[in-house]
Each structure stands twice: as C-alpha cells, then as structure tokens.
Amino acid sequence: MSESSTLYIGLMSGTSLDGVDGVLADFSNGAIHTLAAAFAPFPAELRTELMALQAASPNELEREALAANGLALAYADCVRALLPSAAGPVAAVAVHGQTIRHRPELGFTRQTNNPSLLAELTGIDVIADFRSRDIAAGGQGAPLVPAFHEAAFGKPGTPRVVVNIGGIGNISVLHGDGRVTGFDTGPGNVLIDLWIARHQGRAYDEDGAWAASGTVDAPLLGILLDEPYFRQPAPKSTGRDLFHEQWLDAKLAQCPGLAPVDVQATLTRLTAVTIARAIREEGVKPDAVYVCGGGAYNGTLLRDISAALDGGKVESTAALGVAPNRVEALAFAWLGWRFAQREPGNLPAVTGARGLRILGALYPA
C-alpha cells in the first residue's frame, strides 16, 4: 500500500447478485469523500453460478474456484472504470467478495473471491476477507456497516437509523451519544426479487409497482412472521442460508390459492414490518430513517416502512449526501482504510465479538 495515498477503492457485490458496485474515495485527514462511482453487471452465467452455489451442489470446490476467478474479472472491470478519476495512486482496493455461506453459529462465513488474481489484474494492493476475524473472535461477522454509518452519518445529540436493504435488511441505530447498535432484520429484497422473477421474469419490482397493485394477505403475513429468527435477540445475522426459495414455498403451502400479485404485496410488507419492528425494539425515536441499498428505490417499500412506523420520516441516504447505491461500497473502502491505519472495523456491541478487531487481509500487488 502507498503510505502517502489516501485514495481507496471499495467494491461490493451483495446478496442481490446483480453485479459490482464500486466507489473511489478519499480519506484525507480522516474525512470521507466520494470521488467517483461505477457499476459492473455480472454476466448472466456468473450470476446463475453464484446463485447455484448458495446451496449444496455437486463439485462445489472447483465450481466455486472458477466463479471466484469470474468475480475477480468483474471486480477488475469496476476498478478500471474508477481509475481515471484518481488524481494519484490508489492505496488499495478493498473488496468484500460474494457471500455464498454465512454460518456464524458454526464458526464460519464464506465470501467467494480471488484477491490474488485481482491484485494481478489491477496492479494495486487488495484488502479482502473482512468478516472472518470477527467470527474468529466469537462474533457474527455481520453486519459490519454500522461502524461506517456512525462515521459517515452520525450526528451528536441526534438519534438516527440507517437501514440497508439489499437482499437482506439490516439496521444501524445511531443513538446520538456515541453508542451504535444494529443487526440483520431478515429479508430485504431477496424474496421480493425471487417472486417477481418466478412470475414475471424480471429481476426486481421497479418502484414496488407490482406489489402496490396487490393486496396484503393478513394470514400469509402472519405465517411469514412466525419465523424464529425474528424473535431471536441480537446480536444476530442471516442470509440466503435461511431465507430462500424453499423457505418461502413451505410458508406458501400453508396458505394456498393466493394470487401472485397479493403474495408480492405481502412479501413487501414483510420486509417493511420486520424493519419497523426492529427499530421499535431498539427503543429509539430517530429524526428519520435513512435507507440505502436497492430497496431505497422501491417507493412502495419505503411507504410501507413509514406506515409501520406510524408515519415516521423515511428517506434515502441521498438526504445525507451519499447515494443509496454507493453506501456499501463506500463502507468497504472505509474498512480498507481502517485496515491500513491498523484501526478496528467491527463493533462488538453489534456483532457480539469479544472485542474490537482489525478486519481484513492484505494481498500485495
């Protein structure tokens, strides 16, 4: 890493499996400045393979290794798109990898990646593997973004809630007195996207329009909410290991005959209600709930969250100066910068780890 450079690239490919979000950031004097952003979509065959690797399947080791190589190519494309905006050398690329297993209760999480290949392709130091040290210290390894949310969006004396709605939803509660709490709330877009893909062949429900045309089915919503994870105390984290197609189909079997559009409305309400309940359980009255991730572009979902909070103010993180589709990539750029400074990146109050830990591993160019 260039010790004089304060430029870092952050890369994030999340549970929505649509592609790579990247940002170029400058951390001069400890400030957080986004200089550029880019997106590299996954080739269809890579997305299909990454989806298949979410569950046990034949020849997993070889297939995962090949998928990791494909990921490195997509990551490198995103890095190249960002480099023209860099006024000087980039200290490092901080990359999350693609989660294919998350089992902290068994002591592991798996983010597919080939950081060595990425270093070769870009000629830049790569920092990767951010979650495993927290798990080694007894934590959940997730969510990791609350520490960044406090650094970027915290305001002394003003309680705030930041909600990331990717495939999975998670909240960061910024209490305004330096305390930060947070955890995964449950499904974000994962079930919503699955259902519209099954019935309409579309990757996502644009602005929640299909959900808005349906009617929430109260019995189904009750069945969906009767999931032990929602009652589990924090710290906790989840993923596609729990909330997947088979989970949904088993729930739907208890409530047959529903119109697909009404199921979509109910799945959208499930995400909203679980987020709202999580916020209420934290006992905070925020100035607003700020949403990032793909869910920030779903107007129906944002309105449902507001309604579940009795009309509470809900808006995107754009109101705080960061576009919602850039927040997570920026968070990992920040975590890379923290690693370079040998500063911790986790919050034990969030993950349950035994203490603060420096997160990441370095792959020199």
What distance in Å separates the CA atoms of residue 273 and residue 337, rounded to the nearest whole number?
35
Which band of pLDDT confidence, cut at 50, 70 and 90, is reported for residue 287? very high
What distance in Å separates the CA atoms of residue 198 and residue 155, rounded to the nearest whole number?
42
Average pLDDT over residues 139-164: 96
Q: What angle do CA 135, 141, 142 make, to 5 degrees?
A: 160
Instruction: Give the pLDDT confidence of 48-70 residue by residue, as tens digits.
Output: 999 999 888 999 999 999 999 99
Q: How is residue 295 written in tokens? A: 């869910």
Lowest mean pLDDT among 12-16, 70-74, 228-232: 12-16
pTM recorded for the entire structure? 0.95
Q: To the nearest whole number, what is the mean pLDDT of the chain?
A: 96
Which band of pLDDT confidence, cut at 50, 70 and 90, is reported for residue 296? very high
Beta strands 361-363 and 126-128 are: antiparallel
Q: Is the pLDDT of residue 2 over 70?
A: no
Structural domains of the chain, with CATH: 7-143+325-363 (3.30.420.40), 155-320 (3.30.420.40)
Per residue in 10-49, is it b (16+ CB within 10 Å) or e — as a string?
A: bbbbbbbbbbbbbbbbbbeeeebebebbbebebeeebbeb
**What is the distance in angstroms between the CA of the first residue and the CA of the last residue of the chain?**
8
Lowest mean pLDDT among 169-173, 284-288, 332-336, 341-345: 284-288
Per residue in 100-114, is it b (16+ CB within 10 Å) or e — as a string?
A: bbbebeeeebbbbbb
Percent of the chain with pLDDT over 70: 99
Query: Is the separation of the CB atoms in 97 and 112 below 8 Å?
Result: yes
